A and B are shown apart, each in its own frame.
Chain A
Amino acid sequence: MTPAEDTALHASKGTIRVLQLYPRDMNIYGDWGNALVLRQRLLWHGYTPELLEYNVGDDFPEDVDLIVGGGGQDSGQTVIQDDLQARGEQLRGMAEDGTPMLVICGLYQLFGKFFKTKAGPVIPGIGILDVETVGTDERLIGNVALTSPEFGEIMGYENHSGQTSLGPGVEPLGTVSKGAGNNSKDNHEGARHRNVVASYLHGSLLPKNPAIADFLIRTAVERKYGTFVPGTPDDDFARLAREHAARRPR
């Protein structure tokens, strides 16, 4: 047990249940980093994190406060697609109800309407997000910086060949100033709907973008306990890592 965990157990402001969606098949680019950041920041804010997993065929846990899902390879998406469809209605209900969710890359695509793969077959999405994705021969790879009205400047790294376009039912997460983002045509990156944050960025996303992590945490706590009483996490190294990342070439 770390000192922070020990403190949290003795003076916790409440428990937040964080569900990782398909960590076994969708985890390719440091997605564990996002779950770890949520766990640690909950502790630093004085709450007790409970980290849960949902994989293909599992029983879906009760009382989930926050959902985080990662990127997968094409093969990982194939493995989960039937199971995801079976959970679609439940997840749509939770999203509409305001459950905070973070979905990266592969699950971002499948939270949309469909992903038409490069090889031809169309993988249906669960339609939480009004977005469509088409596989291409062009791989968008490199450092990304974008500006978001909610979260300020967001830093990360992208690596995807699916290109996503947004429908009228979602807002972009932000406007790209370095890199490609959703596709090689417009300058949008990611998507926002209710309390769902969707993005192509890893690197991992949350460590260098604590504002997004704290939005997810605050929303989860407020839904469960009414008010969020933040702690004072030390974000000096996040700030310095962002400054150095910003200077790196595409």
Chain B
Amino acid sequence: MFSFTVPLGKLVRAVSRLRGGGSALPGLVVEKIDPGFMQRTLSSLPHGVAVVSGTNGKTTTTKMVVELLESQGLKVFTNRTGSNFTRGVAAALLGEVDWRGRLDADVAVLELDEAHAVHFVNKVPPRYCLLLNVLRDQLDRFGEIDTTAMLLQRIAERTTGTVVLNREDPRVARIAGAISGPEVLYFGLDESLRSTFPNDDDMRTAAPGTSPQGDVPASQAADVVLRRVGTDDADFEFDGTRVATHMKLRGVYNIFNAAAALVLARTITGASGRPGDAAKLVKALSEVAPAFGRGESLTVDGQPLELVLVKNPSGFRLGLKSFPAKGYASMIAINDNYADGRDMSWLWDVEFESLREDGVEVLTGVRAYDMALRLQYDDVRFGSVDTDIPAALAEFIRGSAGKPKRVFCTYTAMLAIRRELSKITTVEVVS
């Protein structure tokens, strides 16, 4: 049967791009006129669909899985626009299918926000899922983190092949006990690294002046274990062998998620019947560059300017730990729009002592004064406070000439900063 879905959807996509509009509108149109489009197209893929979800690190982890699979010669469809809602997937599909609606790919690897992932898996049961973590974030949307954990469990329940879980996050590891169908694999951390990655229950006990809580025993063997993290290298262990590799990615949390990506990529290649080439996997892993805004480095006035996305307390803590302040001029940009999280409470679950020695040059964003108040209570010096992001950014660049710069920013603040920076330097366009 000839279907009008694809031509019409492609037309809407072309028109909406001409207008410079968002990436989800064509997806919405297709969902309305042909609700079966996404399911039909994705179910034709020989190696099925893999869903990546969790609070932190979805975008970078998905990027890693895609690049690892490509290193093994697989053709991968992904929603790399970061539009991690179902409509975004439908929109991305429209861009990739031919005029007869066929998708030239072996496997789909999709990053999905927790709530939208549930909506998605109800339509398209995935063959694989990778569940990264459950941390306090966007509680204004989901209510409680236990609710978020239930959403991830729902994704696992709908998965037909293999579920990959974070062994070190109790809310994620617990999902193994609640599902019976799919195979369960873990990614894990060396014991010496566990204190670097607080899970949500450790969040409070890791605060200064308090004693740490008892460790969750690592009873399960993990398929891939991150053994060591250096400044630009890391050791992973799998198949009983420890492999050291250089890493282009920055940030310990990104490197832990590299272990997650390895498990999923190894599983998919294993099932595809091609013997997975470990050397190629590790080489591909070492070459993965950060996704936009996730430790991305731009050049401004001949100096690097790093953008570090922070959107919840654990992400901010790990961001501060991964990107030491020494020698850098810092700016912090905090917005409170829906995509940032509207409740400022989270800033009080982050310790800023590591910024005390060097201080922070500029604070900006709608909630710049909340950030100022937060730093005041941690005895961290700061320079100017200006809620206007373009003006604050200009001052930051002017005032810190000749120094490498770093900006910690919430999601919508990051978009605003990239927009400003694109006027003066090369910023990769993500469409």
B213 to chain A: closest residue by CB: A24
Within 8 A of A (CB), among B328-382: 336, 342-349, 366-370, 372-374, 376-379
Q: Mark A99-136, 1 if CB is under 8 A from B, else 0.
A: 00000000000000000000000000000000000000
Q: Which of B204, B370, B374, B387 contacts A27 (CB 8 A)?
A: B204
Question: Within 8 Å of chain A (Cβ to Cβ): is B244?
Answer: no
Q: Which of B342, B349, B374, B377 contacts A157 (CB 8 A)?
A: B342
Complex contacts, A30 vs chain B, CB 8 Å? 344-349
CA–CA, A75 and B174, complex, Å: 15
Q: Which of A23, A75, A202, A238 contacts B210 (CB 8 A)?
A: A23
- Number of A-B pairs, beta carbon distance below 8 Å: 105
CA–CA, A202 and B336, complex, Å: 15
Q: Mark B104-118, 1 if CB is under 8 A from A, else 0.
A: 000000000000000
CA–CA, A151 and B140, complex, Å: 26
Q: Mark B188-223, 1 if CB is under 8 A from A, else 0.
A: 000000000000010111010110010000000000
Complex contacts, A139 vs chain B, CB 8 Å? 143
A28 and B367 form a contact (CB under 8 A)? no
CA–CA, A109 and B68, complex, Å: 50
Instruction: Looking at the assembled complex, report how far the CB atom of A118 sits from the nearest CB atom of chain B, in whole angstroms.
Output: 11
Within 8 A of B (CB), among A135-177: 139, 141-143, 157, 159, 161
Instruction: Looking at the assembled complex, report how far the CB atom of A232 sits from the nearest CB atom of chain B, in whole angstroms.
Output: 14
Complex contacts, A85 vs chain B, CB 8 Å? none
Question: Within 8 Å of chain B (Cβ to Cβ): is A207?
Answer: yes
Complex contacts, B345 vs chain A, CB 8 Å? 29-30, 33, 157, 202-204
Chain A residues touching B, range: 35 or more
CA–CA, A58 and B403, complex, Å: 50
Question: Within 8 Å of chain A (Cβ to Cβ): is B136?
Answer: yes
Q: Which of B145, B374, B377, B385 contacts A73 (CB 8 A)?
A: B145
B374 to chain A: closest residue by CB: A207
The stretch that binds B, out of A90-98, A184-192, A214-222, A240-248, is A240-248
Complex contacts, A238 vs chain B, CB 8 Å? 373
Question: Within 8 Å of chain B (Cβ to Cβ): is A64?
Answer: no
Question: Within 8 Å of chain A (Cβ to Cβ): is B146?
Answer: yes
A208 to chain B: closest residue by CB: B373
CA–CA, A159 and B345, complex, Å: 11
B387 to chain A: closest residue by CB: A244
B146 and A244 form a contact (CB under 8 A)? no
B379 to chain A: closest residue by CB: A2
A240 and B369 form a contact (CB under 8 A)? yes
CB contact under 8 A between A23 and B373, given known A29-B345, A30-B347, A248-B366: no
CA–CA, A37 and B373, complex, Å: 10
A204 to chain B: closest residue by CB: B348
CA–CA, A53 and B210, complex, Å: 8
CA–CA, A240 and B203, complex, Å: 28
Complex contacts, A211 vs chain B, CB 8 Å? none
B370 and A29 form a contact (CB under 8 A)? no
A73 and B370 form a contact (CB under 8 A)? no
A202 and B343 form a contact (CB under 8 A)? yes
A27 and B203 form a contact (CB under 8 A)? yes
B136 to chain A: closest residue by CB: A28
Q: Mark B60-102, 1 if CB is under 8 A from A, else 0.
A: 0000000000000000000000000000000000000000000
Within 8 A of A (CB), among B266-322: none
B348 and A241 form a contact (CB under 8 A)? no
Instruction: Looking at the assembled complex, report how far the CB atom of A135 sits from the nearest CB atom of chain B, in whole angstroms.
Output: 12
CA–CA, A36 and B350, complex, Å: 12
A24 and B205 form a contact (CB under 8 A)? yes
Complex contacts, B210 vs chain A, CB 8 Å? 23, 53
B204 and A24 form a contact (CB under 8 A)? yes
CA–CA, A185 and B213, complex, Å: 41
Can you list 8 A-B pairs with a CB-CB distance of less than 8 A?
Answer: A32-B207, A75-B146, A141-B140, A157-B140, A203-B344, A207-B374, A237-B373, A244-B370
Residues of chain A whose beta carbon lies under 8 Å from any beta carbon of chain B? 2-4, 23-24, 27-33, 36-37, 40, 51, 53, 73-75, 139, 141-143, 157, 159, 161, 202-204, 207-208, 234, 237-238, 240-241, 243-245, 248
